[in-house]
Amino acid sequence: MRTNRTFVLGAALLALVVSACSPGEGESPAASTDAGASASQAADLPAITIGSQSFWESAVVAEIYAQALEDAGFTVERNLELGARDVTQPALVGGDLDLMPEYIGGLLAVSYGGEPTPDIDASLEALRTELEADGLVAFEPTPGTDADGFAVRQETADELGLATMSDLAEVAGDLKWGVAQECGENPNCGPGLERVYGIDYESLDLETLGACTTAIAEALNASNIDVAQVCTTQPEIAGFNLVLLEDDQSLAPAQNIVPVARQELVDEAGDVLETTLNAVSELLTTEELTNLGAAIILNGESYEDAAAQWLEDNGL
Amino acid sequence: MGAAGGCDVIEFLGEVAAWFADPGTWSGRDGIPARLVEHLWISGVSLAASVGVGLPLGLLIGHTGRGAAAVVAIANVGRAVPSLGLMGLAFILLLPLGLGVGPVPTIVALTALGIPPIVVNAYVGLREVDRDLVEAARGMGMRERDVLRQVEIPIALPVILAGVRTSAVQIVATATLAAAIGGGTLGQIIYIGFNVGDQVRIFGAAVVVAALSIATEIGFAALQRAGTSPGLRGRPYVPTEPAQVGREAGEPMNP
């Protein structure tokens, strides 16, 4: 009972502090004129329907877009976790959605049959050409990328001095690898390791597990394997303090995140849409994305809280 | 529409046939032979372990009649636990020992899966042996060991072997899931098919697994027939004297 009462008291106090804070921000003269400006602007700004695919990263980035745009004065409707790309992309093209966080390589390959390369600019250029025909626009990409990658334990990295994939290539034969079942025929895995890093895939000591799964991260953390095929923003990388090796010779295709918006919306919304989203994208590094994933997947935070916290931490 | 659908099916089956005809399907790390051998040895070891644990347990419970509640519990747990969950559990539990990746968790999980039918059938088989026969055997001065070996087991053998058969088929079919936790097997080909979006391979490998399960069923059914005492086979045997039945049933074990 006592703890309960203390808790309620604490919560009430917290609520008081929070409510006291919000009007405080508006007290500065600049802010009050800003508020007036955005209020009058809100009448002109179009409402935006934001969608996302059905996994944490797409959803949290969409939520970050949503909150940032709300701060900028837009009215936002959220349609998060709609499904896979075969659902979201037609919705975006058809006008049911106005804005989506998308992956350069994924969208180019899956929806347009293009061939993404590790070259971000070239891949984005190719994507933009395709998008234009569908009346869509892609803004600036994040520095962070969610692609196939390889991780090792911190101790292995320290012992062998591993920071990049080129470092790993030199000791590849001494380590036990955990890779996806289909690694041998994935151009970004087995054949790619051979082509880009000169790693003799066929002679590797390897076990097969689902890539990007908790299982493969657990197996790496428990020293059952020494190298794991991961997704570069996989939450467990942060959770187990694993070391993601830098793809220094560019094996993985560009899977940086870009906001994809309908041209009509961009015309109506003007510069504020683009500048707001670009400001967000600029700060989303691979590490930041991984940490967001850890907050959501490992710590059970809601998309809303994780997005709000991230925006606050980054002063947006 | 219907015609087009039919054509699609025929075309698909043609692709599956082409996959089977492709030499690449039969070679390499993920070729059918390599994965089939892996599938068979993992299943074989698991079945041997299931029999090694389950049979003595089932015979003990069946012979003494004690622990029937345990049998019911084992049977129910065996039915309730999802196989994939069991594999995941074995994987997690074996990680700290460094055995989480590879065939070991699969074998542990398949063994656990294979035990219940063997225990239950051994128990039921022994319990169903006519009590008069068992009493007669004891009355003849047979030791408990011999009652079990010369009277109960020979008579219960078809039921016991039916348990092994159920267990074997379950193990062979379920071993497919091992690919999820690094165990390989024919399931690996199905997993790769899923991950690269190749339905031809998913279907082709599934056909191989199904054929293997059916072959296992047929093989063990033959074994079961062979293990049925001549006295219990086919034409009903009408006993005139209970003691004589005991002796005849005992014959194959004690020639």
Summarize pLDDT for B94-144 with one digit per residue, the tens.
999 989 888 999 999 999 999 999 999 999 999 999 999 999 999 999 999
Yes or no, beta carbons of B95 and A225 under 8 Å apart: no
Q: Residue A148 is inside which H or E element, if any? A: strand A148-152
A8 pLDDT higher than 80:
no
The residue with greater pLDDT, A252 or B197, is A252
Strand A176-179 versus strand A205-208 pairing type: parallel
Instruction: Give span(s): CATH 3.40.190.120, chain A.
Output: 148-244
Residue of B nearest to A205 (CA): B102
Assign B3 a pLDDT band (cuts: 50, 70, 90).
low
Model confidence band, residue A23 (pLDDT cutoffs 50, 70, 90): very low
CA B183 – CA B87 distance, rounded (Å): 10
Interface of B with A in 92-131 (CB under 8 A): 92, 95-96, 98-102
What three-state secondary structure class fits A209?
coil
Phi, psi of A164 (to 5 degrees): -125, 170
Query: How close is the nearest chain B Cα to the Cα of A203, in Å?
Result: 11
A200 has a chain B CB within 8 A of its CB: no
Contacts of residue A260, Cβ cutoff 8 Å, sequence gap at least 6: A92, A99, A100, A101, A102, A107, A131, A136, A137, A138
- The confidence band for B239, taking pLDDT boundaries of 50, 70 and 90, is low
Rounded to a whole number, what is the distance in angstroms from the first to the last CA of chain A? 40
pLDDT value of residue A104? 97
pTM for the full predicted model:
0.78
Taking the Cβ of residue A185 and every Cβ of chain B, the question of whether any pair is shorter than 8 Å is answered with yes
Asked if A208 and B182 come within 8 Å (Cβ–Cβ), the reply is yes
Q: Which fold has domain B32-253?
A: MetI-like fold (1.10.3720)
What is the distance of C-alpha A91 from the center of its chain?
21
Query: Residue B100 and residue A222: Cβ atoms within 8 Å?
Result: yes
pLDDT tier for residue B240 given thresholds of 50, 70 and 90: low
Q: Note the pLDDT of residue A294.
A: 96
Tell me the two tokens of residue B133: 């026969």
Chain A CB within 8 Å of residue B29 CB: yes
CATH 3.40.190.10 residue ranges of chain A are 45-145+254-313
Asked if A219 and B195 come within 8 Å (Cβ–Cβ), the reply is no
Q: What average pLDDT does range A181-199 have in this prediction?
A: 93
- Contact B101/A185, CB-based, under 8 Å? no
Chain A residues with CB under 8 Å of B179 CB are 181, 208
Residue A206 to chain B, least CA–CA distance (Å): 10
C-alpha B169/C-alpha B213 separation (Å) is 6
Structure tokens at B111: 């063994």
Q: Is the pLDDT of residue B7 over 90?
A: no
B101 vs A185, A186, A207: nearest CB: A207
Average pLDDT, chain A: 88
CATH number of A45-145+254-313: 3.40.190.10
Pairing of strands A136-138, A205-208: unpaired
Q: Check B188 against A218: CB less than 8 A apart.
A: no
Give mean pLDDT, residues B69-86: 84
Do residue A182 and residue B91 have CB atoms under 8 angstroms apart?
A: no
Short-list B175, B177, B161, CA closest to B217: B161
Residue A148's contacts (CB-CB under 8 Å, 6 or more residues apart) are A186, A188, A189, A211, A229, A230, A231, A232, A252
pLDDT > 70: percent of chain B: 89
Q: Give the closest residue to A278 by CA, choosing from A296, A253, A293, A261.
A: A261
From the list B95, B184, B195, which residue is nearest A219 (CB)?
B95
Q: What mean pLDDT is predicted for residues A200-210?
A: 92
The residue of chain B nearest to residue A176, with distances taken between CA atoms, is: B101
- Does B184 sit within 8 Å of A208, measured CB to CB? yes
User: To the nearest whole number, what is the mean pLDDT of chain B?
Assistant: 87
Flag whether pLDDT at A133 surpasses 50: yes
- pLDDT, residue B236, reads 55
Contact in structure between A293 and A56 (CB atoms under 8 Å): yes
Res. A31: pLDDT tops 50: no
A251 shares contact with chain B (CB less than 8 Å):
no
Q: Where are the domains of chain B?
A: 32-253
Architecture of domain A148-244: 3-Layer(aba) Sandwich (3.40)
**Beta strand segments in A1-87, E:** 48-53, 76-83
- The type of residue at B144 is E
Assign B4 to helix, strand or coil. Answer: helix
Contact between B195 and A180 using a beta-carbon 8 Å cutoff: yes
CB B65 within 8 A of CB A220: no
- Complete DSSP assignment for A251-270: -S---BEEEEEEHHHHHHHT
What does the pLDDT average to over B65-91? 85
